[in-house]
Amino acid sequence: MRASRWGLQNPTQGTPHRVVGYVECGCAYTDAGDKERGDRSLRWTQRVVTPENKAWLLAPGFLLSGACFAILGILLSSPPTDKPSEIMMLSNLVRLPLIFFSGVFLPLEEMPTRGQWIAPISPLTYCTELLRYGFGGATRHGPEVGLPALLGFALLFWVMSVRLHRRSMSRRIWA
């Protein structure tokens, strides 16, 4: 087996940093002239994927957040209509406030008091907090709050979407 440009015979050899870096570099930089970018990416991975940074929370955080927002999309698609623009308008009316009150642009501690009261009703708040915690940043809610909250939001959105889709099924326009 020939060696890769990062010195690994097999991606399963070496430290976890090298394995993650090798996979990341192999996915992101496949061009032969990208050795310098691949090496930079590997060094970044070695700095980020450490036990102190709690990067193990990134995968469950991403999976639960992805499921939660996918189910939110299913929930928002429940009104019977023949115009996708109506659903997109509803989606923007829901998603944009979630983004602004979630702590993505402004940390929760720096928000006005009203914003801090509204932030816990946004699932994106818990996603943002899990990502900050995973990268070693300070958070208001730890994973013991964030993971169950995202699971709770996903289940709530699922139950609501099933009920709303059942109710609107007879009024759907079938082409």
Model confidence pLDDT, tens digit, residues 25-34: 444 444 555 6
Q: What is the C-alpha separation between 58 and 114, in angstroms, rounded?
A: 29
Domain ranges of the chain: 16-49, 55-171
Residue 99 half-sphere exposure toward CB, CA atoms < 13 A: 7
Segment 115-143 mean pLDDT: 85
Instruction: Kindly report the average pLDDT of the chain as a whole number.
Output: 76
Residue type, 11: P
Residue 103 backbone class (left: φ over 0; alpha: ψ -120 to 50; beta: rest): left
| Residue 52 confidence (pLDDT) above 70 | no
Model confidence, pTM: 0.65
Residue 54: name the closest of 137, 120, 169 by CA. 137
Q: What is the C-alpha separation between 164 and 100, in angstroms, rounded?
A: 27
Q: How confident is the model at residue 59 (pLDDT cuts 50, 70, 90)?
A: confident
Q: What is the C-alpha separation between 116 and 27, in angstroms, rounded?
A: 39
Most confident of 50-54, 81-85, 168-172: 81-85
| Residue 167 confidence (pLDDT) above 90 | no
Residue scoring higher pLDDT (55 or 159): 159
| The predicted structure's pLDDT at residue 126 | 92
| The predicted structure's pLDDT at residue 1 | 45
Segment 142-165 mean pLDDT: 92
For 165-170, which contacts have Cβ atoms below 8 Å and span 24 or more sequence positions?
165/74, 165/78, 168/78, 168/79, 168/80
Looking at residue 171, what DSSP letter applies? G
Q: What is the C-alpha separation between 140 and 130, in angstroms, rounded?
A: 10
SS3 state at 102: coil
CA dihedral defined by 37, 40, 41, 43, rounded to 10 degrees? 160
* The two structure tokens encoding residue 94: 């829901």
| The predicted structure's pLDDT at residue 151 | 94
| The predicted structure's pLDDT at residue 23 | 45
Q: Among 4-8, 94-98, 162-166, which is the least confidently predicted range?
A: 4-8
Radius of gyration of the chain (CA): 21
